[in-house]
Amino acid sequence: MRKFYVAELSRKSQELFKELAEEQGFNDEEIQDGLDSKIGDLDDIHGLLGFRKCENPQCKEFFNEGFLTEDSDTFCSNECAEKIITDIVEEDYGDYIFFTDWEPEEE
């Protein structure tokens, strides 16, 4: 099932958004607006808050620890990465695709 709204994401993703938004000084109304929005509407602020969106269209979960490819694709798990980039082999981990964590961007 494709997810379009933040409300369709897991509680873990919603809590991550809320926690990171609070850390950056978002007020309750701004946080609720984010939770009520479409997932894509938050693309402009994920760097500010320090999270990424899984690029598997069936997943789209928010995370701050996950996988980054040399092509700048982001995935919450190796399972999601391998569903989208079907030719990944074990040797690609650490060479083409890396496990990393994200921090809020410096202003």
Break the chain into its structural domains and give their ranges: 6-101
Mean pLDDT throughout 84-104? Answer: 93
- Helical segments of the chain, H only: 11-23, 28-36, 46-49, 78-84
Q: Please determine, for residue 93, whether its predicted confidence score (pLDDT) is greater than 90.
A: yes
pLDDT score for 107: 61
99: left (phi over 0), alpha (psi -120 to 50) or beta: beta
> Measured between alpha carbons, how far is 56 from 89 in angstroms, rounded to an integer?
18
56-72 confidence digits (pLDDT tens): 999 999 999 999 999 99
100: left (phi over 0), alpha (psi -120 to 50) or beta: beta
